[in-house]
Chain A
Amino acid sequence: MSTVALKEKKEAAKKPEIVKEITGAEAAIESLLAEGVDTIFGYPGGAIMPVYDALYHCLDKVHHILTRHEQGAIHAAQGYARTSGKVGVVFATSGPGATNLVTGLADAMIDSTPLVCITGQVVASLLGTDAFQETDVINVTNPVTKWNIQITRAEDIPAAIAKAFYIAESGRPGPVLIDITKDAQFGKAPYHFEKCRQIKTYHPKPVLNRAEVEAAAQLINSAKKPYLMVGQGVILSGATKELKAFVEKTGIPVASTLLGLSAFPSDHPLYVGFLGMHGNYACNHMINQCDVLIAVGLRFDDRITGDLKKYAKQAKIVHIELDKAEINKNVKAEAPVHADAKEALKALLEKVDERKHSAWINEFKKLQNDEFEKIITKDWHPKTGKIKMGEVIHILSEQTQGNAVVVTDVGQHQMVTSRYFGFKHPRTNVTSGGLGTMGFGLPAAMGAKLGTPHQEVIAVMGDGGFQMTLQELGTISENNIGIKMIILNNHFLGMVRQWQELFFDKRYSFTDITGPDFIKLADAYNIPAQRVKEHKDIADAIDTMLKHQGPFLLEIEVEKEENVFPMVPSGAGVSDMILELPK
């Protein structure tokens, strides 16, 4: 390069970058594109019209899914985020549009799902005046967001969006909400986007403390009856390979929480089951038999522990957790490791001894056999009577060989699916864990399919939960989202009915629910559907459903008053888990 050319280049570099002036709404869309967003779930309205107008010009770059309700949009974004590992993005208008997001925000907050929600707001001069469709969405969503912000100036939008993405997906992920006033959307400002890489007051990833790892390794190596429980933190940190290597080296039996399902292959010889109130019998009981309990990426939620006074009192506890506020929150840890699960497991792997714990693992076998004989075999192969939920899920699991994303709603079918579907691959289990949101399943499945279009996505729902968000059949039909929907129809709000039977002397107070003709309903949305009432027809119907290209609804009439066992009665300890009703 000549001296003159070099000089010209240097001069050019000195000149300030010419930044174009665009509207706040355009800046919002440009910023989302800069963040790599390819899918947005939303519903337009008055206060977010400028953003939708800006979106209209970018439809070649981003896919917008118009749901039938804002709750559908946010659950879809959750499903998308959970399967793809990306941030789910939602648009909604002010007032009711924003408040309709609240359930999804709370769900995403408790289940650590990264979301960025953008809501429109009335013009800044009308804030606090009870203007049409004005809600104080910042205060409404404070307890259910990891962070939120209201923007009243166009120039603040790109930085807010960059910060929102960084916060949503870093550390323990969570939902973030940006509320943008309409005048900020219309206002013009020079556009400049810079990805957020750090925030002075926020430290999402703790530095691994080698002394904590050493203390944990010593406890693990000294254990005679070690027991490992894994939660969603393993999936979120991408630590499934490290987990498998750790388990295989140490020979420690491993159980999973509800959201941890799919972190470890359920057909692995060291996998001992699903923890929790309706989880497996042996794995719950043995919590009170182990001498060292290693918990990775979980928060000892009350559905896992039962009565804390009776939980693992004999065991020394190693708790590996990214969120410092979760350590010692519910269960006191002798060896806390405040760290990302992947980093901690990698470091521990070098320090733990290669072991086998055959005698200890054999102790699980008797209880596993009891559960198999008293419950599982009857659930899978009922000889008489109506179809059982377990039978359906067992066939589904066999036919898919665990190669599908399974999205569940909330209730009995959720517990049965978690017990009997053979999860093998990470991010294939999508369910509402902490919040237990009925109506989550159908929209979350839509999002899950859009997040992983190459995967088979199957929504398993009850008739109650399905009716909470069934309007999303419109979204599925309009966009030809090829999810498979299974409604296990017992004409009851089954889990509540079970509790009424067991603890309220069978007073079925408002749990007997009627539904529409689901086949006709699907037909109205141009979705093929089939109803099954006989045991002999289940396998063929599932096969037909799986072979169908595009969405398909399968309604299966199941036993009306089936109870899900085993169970830890409310307020009891994990050792009080019962296999059947006391005689």
Chain B
Amino acid sequence: MKKDFTLIVYAENNFSVLNRMINICNRRRVRIKKLLANELEDPHRGEACFILYTTEEIAEKVQLQVDKLIEVEETKLYEGAESFHKEAQLAGVE
């Protein structure tokens, strides 16, 4: 069953890495409902936070594929959109 998942990604701030993450979702036709990307305190690092609308199985597979991108330090996957909104508040967006 499809539902919301929050995928949080910490990565090196390279020009193409955000596109690579989006490409992984697009290839699997996973709907990105919301996307928040921001630079962290260290400008060489960034955070991307997605709300994905998909099944649990596909969300986990997307996480694994994002996780293996060279620049990606860490990924976290949560059910629902709550974690996204917390991150958005921390980033001062919401």
Contacts and interface: CB of A to CB of B under 8 A. Distances in A.
Interface of A: 138-139, 142-143, 146-150, 167, 199-202, 323-325, 329
Contact of B71 (A143, A201, A324, A325): A201
A152 to B, nearest CB: 11
Nearest to A148: B16
Contact of A323 (B19, B23, B68): B68
Contacts of A148: 16
B72 A201 contact: yes
Contact of A201 (B27, B61, B64, B73): B73
A329 B20 contact: no
Given A139-B19, A143-B23, A324 B64 contact: yes
Nearest to A167: B70
A146 B70 contact: yes
Given A147-B70, A325-B65, 5 more contacts: A139-B19, A143-B27, A149-B16, A199-B70, A201-B71
A322 to B, nearest CB: 11
Interface string B15-49: 11001100100010000000000000000000000
A325 B61 contact: yes
Contacts of B15: 138, 150
Contacts of A325: 61, 64-65, 67-68
Contacts of B65: 325
Q: Provide the main secondary structure of the chain B interface.
A: mixed
Contact of A138 (B11, B16, B64, B68): B16
Nearest to B11: A201
B14 interface: yes
A150 B15 CA distance: 9
A325 B27 CA distance: 15
Nearest to A201: B73
Contacts of A150: 15
Task: Choose among A139, A150, A325, A329 the residue with the greatest number of B CB atoms under 10 Å from its CB.
Answer: A325
B24 to A, nearest CB: 9
A63 to B, nearest CB: 30
8 cross-chain pairs, A with B, having the tightest CB-CB distances, nearest first:
A325-B64, A147-B70, A201-B73, A325-B65, A202-B70, A143-B23, A138-B16, A142-B19
A142 B16 contact: yes
25 contacts: A138-B15, A138-B16, A139-B19, A142-B16, A142-B20, A142-B23, A143-B20, A146-B70, A147-B70, A148-B16, A149-B16, A150-B15, A167-B70, A201-B12, A201-B70, A201-B72, A201-B73, A202-B70, A323-B68, A324-B64, A324-B67, A324-B68, A325-B64, A325-B68, A329-B64
Contacts of B19: 139, 142
Nearest to A329: B61
Nearest to B61: A329
Contacts of A199: 70
Nearest to B73: A201
Nearest to A325: B64
B72 to A, nearest CB: 6
A340 to B, nearest CB: 15
Contacts of B12: 201
A147 B14 CA distance: 11
A149 B19 CA distance: 13
Contacts of A143: 20, 23, 27
Interface in B63-82: 64-65, 67-68, 70-73
A77 to B, nearest CB: 21
A200 B23 contact: no
A201 B14 CA distance: 12
A177 to B, nearest CB: 10
A329 B68 CA distance: 14
Nearest to B72: A201
A167 B68 CA distance: 12
Contacts of B70: 146-147, 167, 199, 201-202
Contacts of A142: 16, 19-20, 23
Nearest to A138: B16
Contacts of A202: 70
Contacts of A139: 16, 19
Contacts of B14: 149
A325 B61 CA distance: 7
Task: Choose among B27, B65, B72 the residue with the greatest number of A CB atoms under 10 Å from its CB.
Answer: B65
Nearest to A171: B68
B16 to A, nearest CB: 5
A467 B65 CA distance: 37
Nearest to A139: B19
A224 to B, nearest CB: 31
Contacts of B11: 201
A413 B15 CA distance: 43
Contacts of B71: 201
A201 B69 CA distance: 9
Nearest to B63: A325
A329 B24 CA distance: 14
Nearest to B22: A142
A6 to B, nearest CB: 42
A116 to B, nearest CB: 14
A200 B72 CA distance: 9
B16 A200 contact: no
A513 B20 CA distance: 39
A245 B61 CA distance: 34
A324 B27 CA distance: 19
B75 to A, nearest CB: 11
A142 B26 CA distance: 13
B37 to A, nearest CB: 16
Nearest to B24: A143
Contacts of A201: 11-12, 70-73
Task: Choose among A148, A149, A201 the residue with the greatest number of B CB atoms under 10 Å from its CB.
Answer: A201
Nearest to B26: A143
A138 B19 CA distance: 10
Contacts of B64: 324-325, 329
Nearest to B12: A201
B69 to A, nearest CB: 8
Contacts of B16: 138-139, 142, 148-149
